A and B are shown apart, each in its own frame.
Chain A
């Protein structure tokens, strides 16, 4: 049963510290998405990649957030420096190529981040 995995599942840190979240997409999926979920804003798309290339990161604060895919099996989301308002659940999702079809996104369990 293929699944998206995310690490860590929980992270508590202090304001100003760097936070790195990792995602392993389902093998063979070539689109990867990063979402953030908060009570106030709901589910927000931060960035997404196709074939490891960033396609859209317009939802991501550029001054402190960065997203990369060093290889096809790893996506990272970094926050530096972190701020209390970054506290949220961060989800990674992956999907197969969507050309010509409405393919499904498969979500990981999320990283619950608390910045003190």
Chain B
């Protein structure tokens, strides 16, 4: 079975500081990994994904994530946080080995608060 874990329910970062939102995964086979963001009263929005290739993936709004196979992690990062980055962030995984199975498994979410 595939799963992701987001160990932190809440992350607080001062504006201008670097931020990290953690995610670890468990799949059989090679993973497809995603980050989504949810602003209040909105649906989830795609940020970035890792399929294959370069372990550092760049996405929307200046976010990036690093795929680390040995640590089975896919942490989301940004060099300098903005107040507008405050939102709920979800990590998700799909198992490549499950051919034809488009199901994504989402983490429980991490609420990121950027403090002015």
Contacts and interface: CB of A to CB of B under 8 A. Distances in A.
Interface of A: 4, 31, 42-43, 45, 48, 50, 55-56, 91, 93, 95, 98-99, 101-110
A26 B51 CA distance: 23
Nearest to B30: A102
A102 B43 contact: no
Nearest to A109: B43
Contact of B103 (A56, A102, A104): A56
Given A56-B103, A99-B100, A105-B104, A43 B90 contact: yes
Interface string B49-72: 111000000000000000000000
Nearest to B36: A107
Contacts of A91: 43-44
A38 B108 CA distance: 11
A102 B44 contact: no
B28 to A, nearest CB: 16
Contact of B43 (A48, A50, A107): A107
A102 B31 CA distance: 9
Contacts of A48: 102-103
Contacts of A4: 43
